[in-house]
Amino acid sequence: MTRVDPGYFLALAGLMFSIGVVGTLVRRNAIVIFMFVELMLNAVNLVFITFARMHGELDGQVLVFFVLVVAAAEAVVGLAIILRIYRLRESANVDDVNLLKW
């Protein structure tokens, strides 16, 4: 087991999560936005692993397992929706999907 303090891992996870939030807000391509969502999920996974180590239990690692499964399902459904939108609009840009916008 590493001697590196868990605080550094938490700081790394926090920075990565923030980058994911900024990317989700800044980018326009729907697939790229999805990848930033995956980045945020990864950062949360790192937090779970770090907490599992801090508490000396494996519950956090099991939760990462579930996060992985949910992320896979979410990615598959989201990409299918993007595919439908692309067929309809000929574009993966989120600003082109504005039918429900007032």
Partner 1 sequence: MDVAVFAAVFVVSLGASLAMLFARSAIHVALLLVATQVALAVAFLLQGAFFVAAVQVIVYAGAIMVLFLFVIMLLGVDRREALIEPLPGQRPLAIGLGVLLVLEILFASMRGLDLITSSRAGSEALAELNRDPGNVEALGRLLFSDFLLPFEVTSVLLVAAIVGVMALARRMGSAIIRGEESGPEEAAA
Residues of span 39-98 touching partner 1 by CB under 8 A: 39, 42, 45-46, 49-50, 52-59, 61-62, 64-66, 68-73, 75-77, 79-84, 86, 91-93, 95, 98
Closest distance to partner 1 from the beta carbon of 71 (Å) = 7
99, 94, 76, 86: CA torsion to nearest 10: 70
The amino acid at 76: V
How many residues line the site for partner 1 (CB under 8 A)? 73
**Nearest partner of 11 among 19, 22, 2, 3, judged by Cα:** 19
* Residue 16 makes contact with partner 1 by CB under 8 A: yes
